[in-house]
Structure 1
């Protein structure tokens, strides 16, 4: 495991609290003193994969550049991670990505730790925190188009499972874009698989704005 992955794991253990939090905090502080220049807080591992894949398409290795992309394991954990990464903890520069439905969690805790007051969406973006309309999968599907997304699914050898999913009673009659988004969340690891595959398929001028702006910020 490389230094950046160790750092991210230590952050997670520190944010979780408990008996090992002190040792985890010490482990996180060591690379934060030199090798890490910014922390990007994202809701889940698929968001991390998408950002790192887009960076790679631009010839960037975020870890080598001192940017730690840290999945929160859910937006409601943002407060704990801001406590350890932000002014109360490491005090490192921060950025992030979240779904618009979770905006309130991010705004409230950013304000709580002193990173703004009465934050608007423009204010969040100025801090480096960008919002997806529904979620990143929705953004990528709309950017690429349903037909091209289905071609990506076919390239992954999952056309039959997708057609089976479409035939479920709860999915019949729903827009194909909705079916695609729901399909990507039906098995562990599938969101991350398609986050990478869709980003790699996108023309760079069609990258969703939240993802493009976040990469530009870091």
Structure 2
């Protein structure tokens, strides 16, 4: 396991302990030094991690070599614990983040409580390096590529027949194809991460979804 992956696991363990000092904190601090961590990007889940790193590679960047660690929260409600880990009493590193529209209030409330000022606007959050996907990253990628291109990707991945069957389900028939695609990607464990990588690989680099584009520019 490489140093950055070990750091991710250690930071997650530290956050799970509430950001308090102890063996988990000591291990994460040591690994942060070993891995050369200078910045942390907080994302909700593994698919977001995959997408951020895949886009960075397409742009000729190695986030690991730059000392940028992308940490999945395992759910937006963990944002407070991870900010404690990364903040002045923790690793004391620069922090940025990416979240879904439905989870923005969790991010905002913690940033208002721990940041430089209360009552943050959407623009204020972006100035702090936190960007919001509408409605989530899968939705951003589907809209960015278009439904036809996304279905071509499904075909390449061997999932198009399964998607056609999925479209015939009663709960899906009245939904538009974009919503069907988004829902389909969440039906099996690991599928979101699989398609996060595949869809990013198909993006026109001049038409990257705004939150993802701005996040990488920020870090």
With normalisation by structure 2, the TM-score equals 0.95
State the shift of 1:27 in Å.
Answer: 1.0
State the shift of 1:168 in Å.
Answer: 0.9
The CA RMSD over aligned residues, in Å, is: 1.5
State the shift of 1:32 in Å.
Answer: 2.9
**Which residue does the alignment assign to 1:195?**
196
Q: Distance in 1 between matches of 2:25 and 2:8?
A: 11
Q: Distance in 1 between matches of 2:37 and 2:150?
A: 35
Matches of residues 168-207 of structure 1 in structure 2 within 5 Å?
168-207=169-208
Asked if 1:39 corresponds to 2:26, the answer is: no
Q: Distance in 1 between matches of 2:218 and 2:115?
A: 20
**Which residue does the alignment assign to 1:138?**
139
Cα displacement string for residues 26-52 of structure 1 (whole angstroms, at most 9, x for unaligned residues): 111113346100000000110010010
Stretches of structure 1 that go unaligned for 5 or more consecutive residues are none
**Which residue does the alignment assign to 1:106?**
107
**Which residue does the alignment assign to 2:2?**
2
With normalisation by structure 1, the TM-score equals 0.96
State the shift of 1:65 in Å.
Answer: 0.7
Per the alignment, in what secondary structure is the counterpart of residue 5 of structure 1?
helix
Per the alignment, in what secondary structure is the counterpart of residue 206 of structure 2?
helix
State the shift of 1:87 in Å.
Answer: 2.6
**Which residue does the alignment assign to 1:79?**
80
Cα displacement string for residues 79-136 of structure 1 (whole angstroms, at most 9, x for unaligned residues): 1111111233222100000011111111111122234422111111011100001100
Q: Is the CA contact (8 Å cut-off) linking 1:15 and 1:21 kept in structure 2?
A: no
Q: Distance in 1 between matches of 2:114 and 2:24?
A: 21
**Which residue does the alignment assign to 1:125?**
126
Count of residues in correspondence between the two structures: 217
**Which residue does the alignment assign to 1:58?**
59
Stretches of structure 2 that go unaligned for 5 or more consecutive residues are none
